[in-house]
Amino acid sequence: MLNAIARTLRLTDDETAHLKALARPAAAVSRPAAPRVEHAGASARQLPAAMAEVPALVLDRRNDVLARNRLGHALLAGHLPAGSPGARDDRPHVTRTLFLDEHHRELYTDWDEETRLAVASLRQVAGRHPDDRRLAELVGHLTVRCEEFASRWARHPVRACASGVKRLRHPLVGAMDLSFENLVVPGSSGRRLIACTAEPGSPSEAALRLLGGLAAPEAEDASAAVWHLLVVRGPSGVGPAHAGTALRPSSPSLRARGGPRARGGSSKAAGAFGAPKLSASRMRG
């Protein structure tokens, strides 16, 4: 019956699997289980750390960041404390920061496409785990805080996110096209490893290697200073940098390029990354 409905509606394989998940009888429970906060064990932390030449992260099924290596931190969250995945109450969350952190709005070349894929993937997980209270709280939080999330969620998209390409505009090293693979850990209820790679010999690989040098332990202080200069104060030392300002792989010096204009017509940083910032048009309530 469900297969006939799927054929009639011309559903994709991901949408058909989601339909079948929704049609499963709900398990009888006497009381909702208390939300469980996942933590990365020693092996989960060591795995991305051992992948020193590629950005790598370990996520749970809700997209909480459980662990990441230095390059993964530098690529996606250089404005956040390096040890933040270990925090109990303020752990980084991929989907939440994608919508609510101005840095990520500037980081992704095609932010709209990235958010559409994120919502479609999150809905697939929600269909598989309808009793996950923390997941429901996340959806509710984003629906209230961000109109863009609410409008995308209301369209009921469903799509798996196993692999693809992330097109980035990094504030330190510039443009990069990175392929990613989403590898699910067996028996972990959705925990997965995400790793990004660049095409050998490409400008993206050169940029990624430069970022790796900035993320190395011996360069941490210098890297933090560059972040502060480019992102918080700007090259002039008096205001935020353009999103296009970057350290280029071909030169160790800073070059201020004419970066893209921020939404609203004013020149903004790739993010002055304190609390997440949203304009009134992006928020509800």
Quickly list DSSP for 104-138: HHHHBTTHHHHHHHHHHHHHHHHHH-TT-HHHHHH
In a domain, 4, yes or no: no
CA distance 79 to 95: 16
The answer to whether residue 243 sits within a structural domain is: yes
Cα 141-79-46 angle, rounded to 5 deg: 90
- Cα–Cα distances in angstroms (integers) from residue 200 to residues 69, 96, 167, 209, 239, in the given order: 21, 32, 16, 11, 36
Tokens read off for 28: 């009888």
Residue 7 falls inside a structural domain: no
Please count the other Cβ atoms lying within 10 Å of the Cβ belonging to residue 216: 15
Encode the chain (285 residues) as per-residue pLDDT tens digits: 666 665 666 666 655 665 555 556 555 444 555 556 677 778 888 999 999 999 999 999 999 999 999 999 999 998 888 877 777 667 889 999 999 998 899 999 999 999 999 999 999 999 988 989 999 999 999 999 999 999 999 999 898 888 999 999 999 999 999 999 999 888 767 889 999 999 999 999 999 999 999 888 766 666 666 665 555 555 444 444 444 445 544 433 333 333 333 333 333 333 333 333 333 344 444
Residue 53 belongs to domain with CATH number: 3.30.450.180
Question: Does residue 53 lie in a domain region?
Answer: yes
Please, are residues 54 and 68 in contact by the beta-carbon 8 Å criterion?
A: no
User: What values do phi and psi take at 258, rounded to 5?
Assistant: -75, 95
pTM beyond cutoff 0.75: no
The verdict on residue 81 lying in a domain is yes
Range of the domain at 88: 38-272
d(C-alpha 20, C-alpha 262), whole Å = 42
Quick check: is 231 in a domain?
yes
Does a structural domain hold residue 15? no
How many domains, the chain? 1
